[in-house]
Amino acid sequence: MKKLSREEFLTWLAWGSAGLPAALLGIGSFRFLIPNLIFGPPTMFKIGRAEGFPPGSQTFLPESRLFIASTEKGIMAMSAICTHLGCTVSQVEWGFQCPCHGSKFDSSGRVLAGPAPQPLPWFRILQDPDGQLVVDTWRPVPRQTFFRMA
């Protein structure tokens, strides 16, 4: 094995001192070109006009996995996604049941039997200027939050 001379050692050191920052700068510049966004499904979507949900009706929207119910209090939107492992719950005569692991929820989404750790979340309903109802699934709202027509 050949020993490095002082001149060769200093040459390697100089190239490393210049090359390492240049490489890190290049990696940082490349990373700057990649956006920090994660594209997913929209959190706000239209579900139709209020007239399409007469009092006493309950509608399941499979593409957004939501239950829309209309009562004398107003219109509510509740998730159909089980809080245990994310299966879609089915409506039964006494409420909702998860077909995967048997979690049971009452008609307002409260847990009756596990393994689901939390109730089904409710979401806010807004009205667009064009009269369409819009569900906002970004943040859950408290139970018994209904959309009322003015």
d(C-alpha 73, C-alpha 90), whole Å? 24
Provide the CATH number for the domain formed by 44-141 in this structure. Answer: 2.102.10.10
First to last CA, the chain: 88
The pair of three-digit structure tokens given for residue 13, joined into one six-digit string: 């050191």
pLDDT at 104 over 90: yes
pLDDT at 150 over 70: no
The pair of three-digit structure tokens given for residue 92, joined into one six-digit string: 């039964």
Average pLDDT over residues 134-142: 90
Band of residue 64 on the pLDDT scale cut at 50, 70, 90:
confident
pTM of structure? 0.69
Q: Residue for token digits 């509740």?
A: 78
Q: What share of the chain in percent tops pLDDT 70?
A: 99
